Amino acid sequence: MLDPNQLINQYTSFLKVLAEADKRSAEELEEAGQFVKKYQEAFKLANKIAKWQAKLKEAQELMKEEDDLSELAGDEAALAKTRIKELEKEYVQQLKEADKSGSKVRIKKISLEVRSGVGGDEAKIWAGELLRMYQRYAEKLGFKVVRAEENMLEISGEGVYDVFKYEAGVHRVQRVPKTESQGRVHTSTASVAVIPEVPKSKVVIRDEDLEWQFFRSGGHGGQNVNKVSTAVRLIHKPTGIVVVCQRERSQLQNRMIAMEFLRGKLWQIEEEKRREQIDSQRKKAIGKASRSEKIRTYNFPQNRITDHRINKSWYNLEEVLEGNLEDITKELSTWLEQ
């Protein structure tokens, strides 16, 4: 939650953006306008809190003097403390109302990453098949798809996060690998991460909470990439989140991408907290699927896909792997968001 001083600083900075409309991009103006509109009333209360805090500080200084003003200052300090407490209560309530009214963030771009889990080479093959499945599904829906890295897609379009957000988690496959000579069914896993690109106005990240580390990028990319410290590692101290980016040839570009990833992850954490507060039953249903819980099983011998969060199965595995996920994603949205 934004404390009053943070809100004042951020609100003021966005007012400056609006005042420089001729120098700013349409995206910057849209973000600033949304923030100012959303937190206008909370900003007024934050300013009142700041003024009473200044009065309290002044009164506390006067209380140190041994004269007639000391007693008057004590009364003033008591009044200031009472008013600050009342205003802070109003402020918290106003923030809740603002967040509730503006909780629907327009997210037009996500990064979808698939990593192999247990299962050795079979797990790597499975991760590749999942990535292909999501690419085909996104293309069928008309989203713009870019292969950002070997195991990552960047998917853009209106409503893209709502389509893919419940795909995050561990996907288990049960099948006979091509290299298995005795026909035994093996189990492998791959984990899917869905990171939204969130507008800067939606997440506050303080510079003092960040630790940047730089190192040389590995793999292909030319002499500059391999001999210069272009890769970055970003650590968010309060949460312990670590983001590594070595995609681009420029350190600046990698820093920007790392910040986008961090912003998305922090926003997801806050969204999860908000959902849990609104509906405790939903917490039980979703569990920790966005991190480590097994969310879905793909059983090839039975031609079956089972989503464990809603305990439902589909018997069209091959079609789904070709990118036909509409029935699954719609069912998940209906059930998990009811």
The answer to whether the beta carbons of residues 204 and 10 sit under 8 Å apart is yes
DSSP 8-state code for residue 203 = -
Distance, in Å, from the CA atom of 68 to the CA atom of 285, rounded to the nearest integer, reads 64
Specify the pTM: 0.58
Write out pLDDT tens, residues 135-183: 999 999 999 999 988 899 999 998 899 899 999 999 999 999 877 777 8
> What is the spatial distance between Cα 310 and Cα 237, in angstroms, rounded to a whole number?
35
pLDDT over 90 at 52, yes or no: yes
d(CA 301, CA 184): 11
Domain positions in the chain: 4-101, 109-199+289-336, 201-277
Distance (Å, whole) CA 311 – CA 170 = 15
Do the domains 201-277 and 109-199+289-336 match in fold?
Answer: no
pLDDT in tens, 291-316: 346 899 999 999 999 999 999 999 99
Burial of 130 (0-12, 13-18, 19+ CB in 10 A): buried
Cα separation of 208 and 58, whole Å? 29
Structural class in CATH, domain 201-277: alpha beta
Q: 109-199+289-336 has which CATH code?
A: 3.30.70.1660
Mean pLDDT value across residues 246-267: 88
Q: What is the CA radius of gyration of the chain?
A: 25
pLDDT per residue as tens digits for the range 223-248: 444 567 788 999 999 999 999 988 88
CA 120 from chain center: how many Å?
Answer: 30
